[in-house]
Amino acid sequence: MTRIDATFARLKAEGKKAFVAYVMAGDPDYDTSLEIVKGLPGAGVDIIELGQPFTDPMADGPTIQAAGQRALAQGMTLQKTLDMARAFRETDNETPIVMMGYYNPIYSRGVERFLADAREAGIDGLIIVDLPPEEDEELCIPAQKAGLNFIRLATPTTDDRRLPRVMQNTSGFVYYVSITGITGSAQAEAGDVAPEVARIKAAGNLPVVVGFGITTPEAAARIAGVADGAVVGSAIVSRIARGDTPAEVLGFVRTLADGAHSA
């Protein structure tokens, strides 16, 4: 059982939904980013999504793209992202960390070396948005063998013929993208999300968390109410971008977590 599995089991026993927060590693700089990451569990975050900066983030909207560019400009690398996870683990051995990003930096490092380093640093799962199920032998299956969850995205365009393939080697949870398009581009609607979550849960025995288009505590509550949890990324990253202090960012995160946990 991974930290991710244990977290969902605990939340289910408590009758609570998960709140997942995304931040870009190294944004606006390494030290500030680490301070925010270390503060997330205390602000109510159940699972941390740690973005790996990349030069060509095709699935990300302007807010996340800009965060990646800020981090890269500050010298952020894959190694420093792993270092950040390792530093987080010095004081927290329970909160799951999911690294979210793209395959190129991992491929450049070498899959076997990356997986060993990620496991040692305390990474629990991976979301690699540009590796479809047809490429599972590249990273997904080796990651599972190394003890990391490989989390797949499902979208409004994932039809019933495609869904079993998406679910086949997925573990930890399924990340349902509530809208078509890029991050930060529209609002998630619980009425649209609910039947899709039910469809995904019927296709496999995994928790389903919903992201994209959640910007307020009220929206987090509505979406968590029809899923196993809610993910917020762009709304948090935008607070970092405008220069909020770590305490201010974490205060905002707390309101979102309270919203999701109230569902």
Any catalytic annotation for residue 192? no
Any catalytic annotation for residue 60? yes
Catalytic residue among 5, 46, 49, 124: 49
* Amino acid residing at 77: T
Structure token digits, residue 43: 């602000």
Catalytic residue among 27, 60, 196, 228: 60
Structure token digits, residue 50: 């740690």
Angle 234-241/62-73 helices, nearest 10 degrees? 50
Please name the residues in contact with 68: beta carbons below 8 A apart, sequence gap of 6 or more. 24, 27, 51, 53, 54, 55, 57, 60
For the annotated catalytic residues, the residue numbers are 49, 60
